[in-house]
Chains A and B, each alone.
Chain A
């Protein structure tokens, strides 16, 4: 136990001192690692931006069921309960005839002609409707089919209540949107993997070069009879230290950058400012960068030293 503590202390001290004395080489690998972490951080931001805009986009997709003006409210509410029971349905909103009229009037408040025409009618020409949101945009077709079958059943009895379902008018747009959302998700996943791979490769190669410059040192250590942990430990500490420092560098770089980009992202992605995201998720981002830095730096050093240990 005592020995382990002494070993750890010596390895840590040797790592810190080595980092400092090798400042020039350490600086080079720290900068490359900062760049890698910057890429990873940028992916986090981009992912968050896409996520919110996709969610907003998905939220805009819905289907409306328009009922006949003669449809009794109780039957409509029955249907609402049935639709709500479907597993793929997220939210169902019932708009009764009066509310539908109010919404219509509000939408056309600048159009005197239509309002006048409406006033001349003695009764409300609008039917009630249900606004249905699915959990996934791909599930609308199933919901529309269900509504169709319900209506066919009812019309067989001669008391159909549904006037029309607007899914079929919007089908092309919804399908198109679905394929766009799907390809954006696939593409962003592929990009994330590509860039993570690039940053790992970049870091690993830089660390490998710094260890290469120390290969004679490693062989001397081995010939003096040092165990592998004694040779490797300080390099891993140096690498991890580089990782920590580069995490701070990348994190600090994001402050002015997100501040500058904030307003434009707010308009482009709709509603979310990248700067607010940075501030609100600071702890989370900090932790990811720090862990990524330590793992990248320490891990690369661990692997890079390995090949020089076989003496």
Chain B
């Protein structure tokens, strides 16, 4: 489903983010990508969204090279992937409800669909009470739950979560992980990057370990080891 083929990203001679990385993610898999800060985890995810281009190699999604997509195809591609970031990246001038509705609007959903789906997903992440609050009025955990709600509202094939628990306390962290697990159980592929040992160990799913831009381990049901 997703295939990284010999991908390298070189910013300059002494700054190599990724070095000939290759791996494949199958549908409905839950993959954790772990490694120290600067190991290249975020760069990998940015390439999947075509936010950055590889210096060498190619990234394939459903056998299409994401870098050769046209503008319209790229928008479609991004709508098939739900994204959750460490810094939440919510729209500050929109309420919780509107943040989710916006993702549906850009996907061309009708007003009726928006009115029926948004309350549903808000309930799923336990934010019904906060529907009309702005992001700055929410706690860190609530913001991240809102970000997840936005990521899954269009029923994407893949959810990528870039250090989603990096800014959260242990209780909120567990909550987020449980939600991601639930999403995966419902049939969505999940790619998670993290450097939180507890999270990875509790999951017991596939773990890809990156170090200095290289894949150093790829375990079917691994633990966080460096």
Q: Residues of A at under 8 Å CB distance from B?
A: 3, 6, 10, 17-18, 21-22, 216-217, 219-228, 230, 311
Residues on B with beta carbons closer than 8 Å to the beta carbon of A224: 78-79, 83, 102-103, 106, 150
B175 within 8 Å of A (CB atoms): no
- Closest B residue to A309 using CB positions: B71
Residues on B with beta carbons closer than 8 Å to the beta carbon of A227: 72, 75, 106
Residue pair B107, A225 in contact (C-beta under 8 Å): yes
Residue pair B93, A216 in contact (C-beta under 8 Å): no
CB distance from B81 to the nearest CB of A (A): 8
- Closest A residue to B106 using CB positions: A226
Residue pair B75, A226 in contact (C-beta under 8 Å): yes
> A16 vs B107: C-alpha distance in the bound complex, in angstroms?
21
B89 touches which of A6, A10, A223 (Cβ 8 Å) = A223
A220 touches which of B72, B77, B79, B90 (Cβ 8 Å) = B90
| Interface residues of chain A: helix, strand, loop or mixed (majority) | helix
Contact A217-B91, Cβ < 8 Å, known A3-B108, A6-B111 = yes
A6 touches which of B76, B91, B103, B110 (Cβ 8 Å) = B110
Within 8 A of A (CB), among B64-99: 71-72, 75-79, 83, 89-93
Q: What are 14 A-B contacts with C-beta separation under 8 Å? A: A10-B105, A18-B93, A21-B93, A220-B90, A221-B102, A223-B78, A223-B89, A224-B79, A225-B76, A225-B77, A225-B106, A226-B75, A226-B106, A311-B51
- Closest B residue to A228 using CB positions: B71
> A227 vs B105: C-alpha distance in the bound complex, in angstroms?
10
B58 within 8 Å of A (CB atoms): no
> A17 vs B49: C-alpha distance in the bound complex, in angstroms?
29
- Closest A residue to B46 using CB positions: A223
Residue pair A225, B105 in contact (C-beta under 8 Å): no
CB distance from B92 to the nearest CB of A (A): 7
Residues on B with beta carbons closer than 8 Å to the beta carbon of A222: 78
> A63 vs B58: C-alpha distance in the bound complex, in angstroms?
85
A22 touches which of B89, B93, B105 (Cβ 8 Å) = B93
Most buried by B among A22, A219, A223, A228: A223
User: Which 9 residue pairs spanning A and B have beta carbons closest together?
Assistant: A225-B78, A225-B79, A226-B106, A220-B89, A21-B93, A225-B75, A224-B103, A230-B106, A10-B105
> A22 vs B92: C-alpha distance in the bound complex, in angstroms?
10
CB distance from B169 to the nearest CB of A (A): 24
Residue pair B105, A230 in contact (C-beta under 8 Å): yes
CB distance from B94 to the nearest CB of A (A): 8
> A21 vs B76: C-alpha distance in the bound complex, in angstroms?
30
Residues on A with beta carbons closer than 8 Å to the beta carbon of B93: 17-18, 21-22, 217
CB distance from A307 to the nearest CB of B (A): 16
> A222 vs B78: C-alpha distance in the bound complex, in angstroms?
9
CB distance from B154 to the nearest CB of A (A): 8
